[in-house]
Structure formats: C-alpha cells, structure tokens
Structure 1
C-alpha cells in the first residue's frame, strides 16, 4: 500500500492506494500552525492500524516552502559571490544583498584568482554582528571546479548553521540563476528542516519503518532526510503533484492539458503526446529565476473560493480569497456560490449561496440566476484565456518535455483534463470555450495526493571531462578526478551511470525505478596552433519523472 498526502493551504488531502487504485480518500482542514497534526489527521482518516502495517511508502507534497517565498517569510542569508571579471555586479540578482569577493575560476575550471581568506574572515565578523547564520557561496564557474566554494565554506563552518554551495544545486552554467537558487535554498532551509523533524516524529508515532518522501518541483520524490540538503527543490511541489496525478489520464497519441481549479488559484500544465512539459532553464517563483528543474505550469489567481465583487459597475473575480464560499459560512460571494445557485453543484447551504449572489445581482441590475451565470461565464473565460496565452507562449519557442526537446513541435491540445474540487461543475463550459474535449477523472478532488503517491524518485547528474588537462568533474557532487588522455565520451557516460545509481539509492529510489537515460551529451575538440590537443566532453544523465512501479504493484 502507498499513502499519498498533499498539504494545501486550506485542506490536507490523503489517499490510500494499492495496485494503482484509490482505496480510501479524505480531506481535513490544514492547521497551518501544526503540520504534524494535519498530516497525522489525514493519515488516520484513510488508514486503519492494519493498513499502516502494510505501507510500502509515504509521499508528501506541500506548499510550505512555496508559501514562505511568496509571503517573504525567509531567513536572512549571507550571500558571498565570486563573480570574477566580465559581469557588472548590478546586473546580477540580489546584488544589493550580496558580498562580492575575490576568487575566480575560468571556464575550464582552472584558478585565475585565488580566494582572499582575510577578506572572508572580515565578512564573518560582519555577518556575526548581524546575526546571520545561513550562507550561500557561489562562484561563477564552480561547476567546472568547486575548490573556491569549498575553501570559503571551510572558513564559515564554525559560525554557520548551514551553508549552500552553488555547484551542488545544478550542473548548468547559468550564474545569475545559481545565485538566486543558492539564496532560496538557504532562506527556506531552517523552515524545511523543522518540517523534516516533524515528519520524523510522525513516522515514530505511526510505529512503522517505511520510506518517507517529499515531492519535488520536477514531479519526482526525494527521501525526507536527503531533502534537508536541498529544500529549494520542493518549491512548487503542489502543481507538480497535480501533473503526476493527471499523468495516467493524459493520452499518449495526442496533445492535452490539465486545469487544476483550486480554492484560490488555477494551475495549468501541458502534455505533448502524454509527456509533461519541462521548464528548460529552471522554474521561477516570484521574482526569483532558479536552476531548479521543474515541470512547466502557469497559475492564475482565480478559484472556487475567489472573492466575487462589483467594482465601478463591473463584475470582478479574485485575486483574493477571503475564505470559504458563503454557502459554507464564508464572508463573501464566490464562484462556488454561483455554481450552487445554478444547480451545477449540490453542496453547502443553497439559501446562503442564493443570498450571496442576490447581493451581486442587485449591484449589476440582474436577476440572481443571470448574475450567477455571469460569474460562471467570467470565471471560465478567464481560465480559457490563460490557457490560450500559455499555448501561444509555449509554441513561440522550443518545446521541452521530461523526455527530450521536441524540434519544431507545435502543441495543439485536444483534451482538457479538469481536476480539483470545482472541476465537475466547470469542465463542460471550459471545454466548450477551448473547443476541447473535457475530461474529469474520478477522484479528481484528491488528484494531488494521488499524484504524490505515485511519483518516483528523480535525480540528475552533470559530468565534464577535459582530456587535455586530464581532468574530470562531477558538477553537483563537487568531485574532480584525474583521467587518461584516451578517455572517451563512453567512459564518461559509464562513470556517470555508476555514480547516478549510487545517488538514486541514497535519495530513496527502489531498484526497479532506477532507469537511467542520457539526457544530453556533447563533445568538442580542443584546438591549439591548428592542431587538436584534446577533447572536452559534457554529459547530463537523469532518472526522469514518472510513476513508480510500486504504484502498479
């Protein structure tokens, strides 16, 4: 059995699954002040003591880190940046919060300027006076050689609660994104570590020894203990959970999309022949462009509980959510109230919903049914317009899926898979507006929890080799090793496969899910004085997002 839990801002959803089927499902109110309570209640709502003894894995998706970033509830971070020449500090993200110091590796990983240790010691004193205990250390070409970052960390260790090194986060070269990613990783580290402590207590209280995973932005899982090192990877895990839940319903012979209508927001994702699209450069959250591998989603601030009001004679929905629908004793009219009035949804107190829409109707000079329909029309058209703009944006540039870049691909979705609480009431109208076939999967109200439950562990690794310098590096691991001059691309891939298997096991991947693929490989000649003096190789390997074989066993 598998237990999937999605901790949302309003509800914590849970599912107990076996052989890919949901045995039981539940929604409980999220206690934002007590994650342990919410997760425990959600567990016992679907799992009896005899079920808990049969669990093979528990997977959790959570909006905790995402909300911390969105609400600016972040710890102060001592950012130490080694930018070297060629880039203006003002053009780099977070430049007003960073300390720029000496130390520079060139693009081949060779030292061009050494670290000034006295400068770092002086910085330590300044940060200590400010009470800063979390640090991000980022060098421009640290993926080619992490030596400078490691030197600075060693000088900080006696003062730091935790240090993030830029090279650990991704093998990609984007220096500005690496700065933002390292900053966010440290800014949410304490919050996430506290959550991990609570989840370990939760396991102890359950009295079981089973793997506990956190869902990442790329739709893959990571063992909760391993997630302590890279909490930034769990940002946007909520939308990723939706995509993994929708994955079994996405047709593999044509394009489709998913629309997850929540209480506050609606998340949209695209599928190319059944494969979810990927953010090729990394996800963005608020103003922060990161190197975090993630599934491509767009959000719009409209949902079933969005505040409906009339402003200057015009109907407006959202972006705020003031609480539940008035049909459930909430404070203001919502689209959910309109659905109840129209007879689309047989939930809540219809008299209270009618009173809510009466107030809107009076301001618009319409009947109550007319006002309710106007609310539905505006909500559905707003969502449809966002879908159209997202498709147009995606089709204006190369399309990347979790498998590959699709050269010349133009997405033309024919199916709209609508999920979330309001899905059964909105799917038909949204489908008509988009000229797509609407699909509402069974148990769509807990699709995030089932998506989390079924997701498999994902990892990736970037390796580089320079046969002229006889050096190989594994970027994310900070590993460098000597190689012979006759070292080949095939040799590099073999090393990468072996290392990635080890990393996958540590991250919690069961053996049957360790399916490694070469996502990218490049080879370049090193030319000096008109002659080839060596080769440079670059390889990226991955275990791509997908459904764990546990989900169907």
Structure 2
C-alpha cells in the first residue's frame, strides 16, 4: 500500500510544495507560491492548496504519512541581519572573550551584559553566579528585548550557571532563552556565545513558520508528523527544532543536496542551489554531503552548528544591483523585490515608472519602491517600535510607494534600513531577474516593468542614450551586462569551490574564464570540472546554461530542479547525535561531562565504557523523541593518551560521539 510524503520549502522568494510516493519514490505533484514574509502562512497555505489540488480525487488526507519542511528562512535572516531584538548574558567572560565572540560586530543591536560566574575546565565553580546583576539587567530591559542568549565560561563542563540564568530569564521576562551548552559540546566559549545569540535572534521566525504550516495542514485535515530539515540534511520534529532554530541554518541547501541526488541520480557531483537571495555550493560524495566540522559560516561569522560543508553567499535572482562611477556592475548581498514582480502584482508601479520616466529627473531613485511584506496587517507591530517608525509604516499600506515620496533625509534612510533589518519593510528595485525578463530568459512576471526600470537605470548611469531609435538595442545590451555579471560571479564561486582556493576578482586567468574568454594573450584557457555540475533552484535554468558554457560543460538541471529543496525535505531521514567528554581529574581519576554535574570515575576503562553507553543512550533518546524507528547507532572515539602506556592506562582525555539514524514512524 502506497503512502505519501509532503515536502514544503519556504525560500526567500518562493514557497514550494511537492508530494512524493514513498513506495515508488515518484514525484507525484509539485506547486509554487510566492513567499509572504509578513505572514508566512499565506504562502504556505497557497502552495499546499495548489499541490493538493493537482491530486484532487486521487489522494485523501489519510494518505499523507509525513509532512517535512525545509527553509532558507534562518540562513536568509542571518545573512540579511533580521530577527528579534536580543539580550546576551555572558557569564565569566573577560574583555578578550567578548572581542573574540564578534557579538558586537555580528549583532550590533544586541544588549550585552557580562556578569560574574563561570567554571574551570574540570567543571569546578570559578566564582558564584551574580544573580543580582542578572536580575537588574533583565528588569532594565524588560520591554526592549524579545529573546535572550546565555553563555557561561566552560558551561559544557558544568552547565549549572547557564541553567540558572535560563530560569531567571523565564521567571522575570518569560521570553525565549537559549543556553549555549544546548547547541554545542565544544569548549570555545566565545563562538558558543555567538551561536546562542544567533539562535535567540531567529526563534520567533521559526515559531511563526511552524505555526503557519500547522495551520495550513489543519485546513486540509492532515494529521501527520511535522518535521523540519536540519543543516546536516537530516530531519527532526518541529517541536524539537523550534527550540534550536540555529540548526536549520543551511536547511534549505541541505535539502537541495538530498533532492539533487534524488533527481539527478548522481552520487559524486558539485551542486549549486540558486534562489532569490542566496547561492549555495557544495561538493557531494557518495550521495551525501560532508559536514563542516569547524562549524558553518553565515554572513562571514563562523558558528558552532553542524551543517553540510556548503558555501553560502548573498547572490540570487533578486540581488540588488549597484553601478559604480566607472559604470561597473556589482551584485550586492542584500535582496530587493524585482520590479518585474511588483509590476506584475501592482499595475500602479508601472504607472509610477512611466510618470517618472516622462519627468526625466532622478531616474535611479525613481526605480526604488518601499512596500510592506504580504500579511503585515495580520500581526501587530513589535512593542519596541517607536512612534515615528509606526507613523512611517502606516503610510505604506496595500501598495508599494516610491522611495522618493518617503525618503528625503539621512534619518529617513536610516529608518528604512532599520525597518528592513527587522523584516517590517521591503525594498523594490532593479535585479538580475529584471534583466532576464528584458532578455526573454524569464517570463513569469511583467516584462513591461522590467524594460522600464532597465531603461531608467540605464539612462541614469549613461548606459542607455536618449536616442529613441536605439532604445531597444541599448536596453538589451545593458540587461546583458547585468546578466553576464550574474553569470561571472556564479562561475567564480564554482571555480573557488572546485579548486579549494580563493581568487581575487582581478586575477587575470580566473577573470577571463568567468567572463567567457578562452584566450589570454597567446594562452588558450580552459578550466573544466572533473565532476558533474547539478544546478537546482528557481533561477538555475535561467543562468546556469551560460555558467556551464564558461566551464566547458553542460550542467545537469533535472526535471523538478526548481523544487529540489522540497523534494529533499520529503525524503529525509532522522539523525540524532550526542557527545560525552572525559577529562583527567587533578587528584587522579576521570570526570565524565554531560548535561549535569560531572561524574567522577577512578578507572579509565570504566570511564570510557560508561561515557560510551551514556552517549548512545542520549542519542537514542533524542531519536525516539523525534518519532524515529528502525534505529541504527554507531559511535566514534577521539582520545589523547600518554605515549608508551599500554591499554587505557595512559588515557588523558576522550570524546565519544554517538550517532543514531532512523526513519519516521
């Protein structure tokens, strides 16, 4: 008897939904809807409605055995600097540790408070926890913070101070609070603190997403387990993930790797997953992506999240375009809403563009619009939004408003930046997707709006003249420049990933290849991948034919590649792991470190045996809590010994990691 899984992916631009027959591993149906950032449930419900409608009369709610979600929401939010206003409690941190955490650079808006406390490497208390300082900080910022992160020195050896701080936050504030020891067993306190802060920042986003999916499923009477893809490619229960949303960093890209393997049939390949906001590139061996043991890098900052070894950059079909004083085109990391999309949805945008073009002044600024995210009116504004910001937002209601109508001063520009960072406002502008519409490489939105913005931006930067006879040719030439900039940057990213080296943008050989030249002086040039390129994501078919040409290959863009993330989500596996460490005690014997006070054991062999059993038990418990069955468990041992000693007699320290893999019940 066949059963069916639903996979849903909420990307920066589109929300995708698919139905997979788990018995035949067949893609039964797929559908898309625009992602609605103001209220994600709108896009999720629309995508789910669309995919269910394609199977009407063939499937019922009872046939659905699993619903799994992958999302670039966390990745995009951290790349774009969005999320809740947070507070960070650093227990036992000195000036050097604070600087090494990069907290003040990565999250400038965070309220950071250092308090006395912390432990030593063996789990002994350094000084008593200063609960009074914590209480004062919490009371002083009661109405300013939406979530807290707590990190204590050596908390992985003794988490008691972090646990107490967590309790105080819950009692006094009642908001979400993240303890760094719950996210990583590694000793690096500063990086654990940054990881915990990132986690706290995006909790509300993931909670909103999960609630949206559950509402959508309820509307179809689907009562199936809800899972979410983690950054390592495995799936976990939604209830577990909402506490640790940082684990969904690279969720969408991880799902795309699984989906690309499923669709292409390739086991060794390089994948490029391009969306509206980011491009994600990874090397896949034996059908499963390798993990980055050093921790994922997001927005230039290294976290302690176990995720696939994938490089993520802010490059997509909706990347903002900047033209410098020399006329060179640069693609920015931030996403803007394409004018072709705005014109498709709101005819008033096309009317505004035509009016501005007829005036002939300030054409660059006239192509920028401000708009509220879809569904913004379903939820009240955050309590910490100022009256001035509220008045500004109230001007922008149901349709986009020209930038020049609202932004006239530096303070206005700063306000827009602040509100965009909070996810309360979006900017519409010129993107590679608009250029692709002008070139007839995309057609789903308004070509008229794309041509207008191309003409206006082109004229404002001297790319398009005022000679009416040459307008069409010059606009297409300018659009091709933008398109080629996208292809060149994508090719450069792939060359770096394939070679394992970084290259400056002006490297003559690399630059020649990325810009489509096969000759440099009297030198013939060719750099060709040894493994296939599988390109997935919505814009892959638009840009990657040209990327392949510059690499001398034909990329594999399989049928269904535009929904590869959702497919990967639908066929995922549950994986749980646990790490238990052993350290030498100064007075002899060993301490086993876990989520509680260290356990003292005198015998090294007994310590290894007990620690291994504990790690396996914790991993199994985690997997079973996520409704896993058909479990297989393994363990890995890393140990440090005194040279020349036999057996376990020379044991100095050890780390046991247990991994449990299973399918959903």
Shared fold per TM-score greater than 0.5: yes
Counterpart Cα distance in 1 of 2:132 and 2:226: 40
Q: Which residue of 1 aligns with 2:307?
A: 294
Please identify the structure whose Cα radius of gyration is greater.
Answer: 2
Say if 2:482 is the partner of 1:471.
Answer: no
For residue 421 of structure 1, the aligned residue among 522, 538, 545 is: 538
Counterpart Cα distance in 1 of 2:141 and 2:443: 56
Q: Which residue of 2 aligns with 1:403?
A: none
CA shift in 2, pair 1:227/1:341, >3 Å? closer
| CA-CA distance at 1:381 after TM superposition | 1.6
Q: Once the two structures are superposed, what CA deviation does each residue of 1:488-536 show, in whole Å capped at 9, x if it has no partner? A: 535533332232111111133x213x333335532435999xx957653
- Aligned with 1:167: secondary structure? helix
Q: Which residue of 1 aligns with 2:162?
A: 149
Unaligned runs of 5+ in 2: 105-109, 345-366, 368-428, 504-527
Say if 2:544 is the partner of 1:438.
Answer: no
- Aligned with 2:155: secondary structure? coil
Are the equivalent residues in 2 in contact too, given 1:137–1:182 (CA < 8 A)? yes
Q: Which residue of 2 aligns with 1:34?
A: 39
Are the equivalent residues in 1 in contact too, given 2:101–2:191 (CA < 8 A)? no
Are the equivalent residues in 2 in contact too, given 1:526–1:536 (CA < 8 A)? no
CA shift in 2, pair 1:413/1:455, >3 Å? farther
CA shift in 2, pair 1:171/1:527, >3 Å? farther
Q: Once the two structures are superposed, what CA deviation does each residue of 1:19-43 show, in whole Å capped at 9, x if it has no partner? A: 3221111111222222223222221
Count the aligned residue pairs: 523
Is 312-321 or 10-19 further displaced after alignment?
A: 312-321
| CA-CA distance at 1:177 after TM superposition | 0.9
Counterpart Cα distance in 2 of 1:78 and 1:371: 47
Q: Which residue of 1 aligns with 2:490?
A: 383
- Aligned with 1:192: secondary structure? helix
Q: Which residue of 2 aligns with 1:248?
A: 262
| CA-CA distance at 1:389 after TM superposition | 2.5
Q: Which residue of 2 aligns with 1:137?
A: 150
CA shift in 2, pair 1:253/1:106, >3 Å? same
Q: Which residue of 2 aligns with 1:329?
A: 343
| CA-CA distance at 1:17 after TM superposition | 1.0
Are the equivalent residues in 1 in contact too, given 2:578–2:616 (CA < 8 A)? no
RMSD of aligned residue pairs (Cα, Å): 3.7
Q: Any residues of structure 2 matched to 1:169-180 within 5 Å, and which?
A: 169-180=183-194
Q: Which residue of 1 aligns with 2:21?
A: 18
Say if 2:243 is the partner of 1:123.
Answer: no
Unaligned runs of 5+ in 1: 397-410
If the length of structure 2 is used for normalisation, what is the TM-score?
A: 0.69
- Aligned with 1:487: secondary structure? helix
Counterpart Cα distance in 2 of 1:158 and 1:133: 14
| CA-CA distance at 1:210 after TM superposition | 1.4
If the length of structure 1 is used for normalisation, what is the TM-score?
A: 0.82
CA shift in 2, pair 1:208/1:346, >3 Å? closer
Q: Which residue of 2 aligns with 1:76?
A: 86
CA shift in 2, pair 1:188/1:88, >3 Å? closer
| CA-CA distance at 1:185 after TM superposition | 2.2
Are the equivalent residues in 2 in contact too, given 1:516–1:542 (CA < 8 A)? yes
- Aligned with 1:441: secondary structure? coil
For residue 60 of structure 1, the aligned residue among 61, 69, 80 is: 69
Q: Any residues of structure 2 matched to 1:12-411 within 5 Å, and which?
A: 12-19=15-22, 20-47=25-52, 48=56, 50-69=59-78, 70-83=80-93, 87=96, 89-94=98-103, 97-109=111-123, 111-116=124-129, 119-131=130-142, 132=145, 134-161=147-174, 162-248=176-262, 254=268, 256-286=269-299, 288-306=301-319, 311-312=324-325, 314=327, 316=329, 318-319=331-332, 321-324=335-338, 326=340, 329=343, 334-336=431-433, 338-339=435-436, 344=441, 360=458, 363=463, 367-368=473-474, 370-393=477-500
Q: Which residue of 2 aligns with 1:496?
A: 615
Counterpart Cα distance in 2 of 1:326 and 1:156: 46
Counterpart Cα distance in 2 of 1:364 and 1:106: 66
Q: Which residue of 1 aligns with 2:517?
A: none
Are the equivalent residues in 2 in contact too, given 1:315–1:375 (CA < 8 A)? no
- Aligned with 1:103: secondary structure? coil
Q: Which residue of 1 aligns with 2:396?
A: none
CA shift in 2, pair 1:120/1:392, >3 Å? farther
Counterpart Cα distance in 2 of 1:140 and 1:299: 30
